[in-house]
Amino acid sequence: MSDELITQVKQMIIDALRIDGMAPADIDTDASLFGEGLGLDSIDALQLVVAMEKDFGVVVPDAATGTKVFASVRSMADYIATNRK
């Protein structure tokens, strides 16, 4: 997995969730996306599922998988790298 993919995932999060005033460098690669970390919620998760499918052609098939995928930016990038078409 490349640093370029990590940056692309961070930019996708910013764009999909319309987070104004945030740059990819502002997001910690290993921090939790939900709760204490970036503070995302279930609606945000749905938006990220759609964005991942649109931007990377990767599907998150169920909630159990989503819980693992959306743990951090690094886990999202790992999942994309492994499952990208």
pLDDT tens digits for range 12-64: 999 999 999 999 999 999 999 988 878 888 899 999 999 999 999 999 999 89
pLDDT score at 36 = 80
Rg for the chain, CA atoms, rounded: 11
Hey, what are 62's tokens? 């169920």
Residue for token pair 């970036």? 38
Hey, what are 43's tokens? 């609606």
In whole angstroms, give the CA distance from residue 26 to residue 18: 14
pLDDT score at 70 = 93
pLDDT score at 79 = 96
Residue 1 in this model has a pLDDT that exceeds 80: no
pTM: 0.91
Please report, to the nearest 10 degrees, the dihedral formed by the alpha carbons of residues 52, 54, 58, 60 taken in order: 60
> What CATH code would you report for 3-83?
1.10.1200.10
pLDDT score at 51 = 96
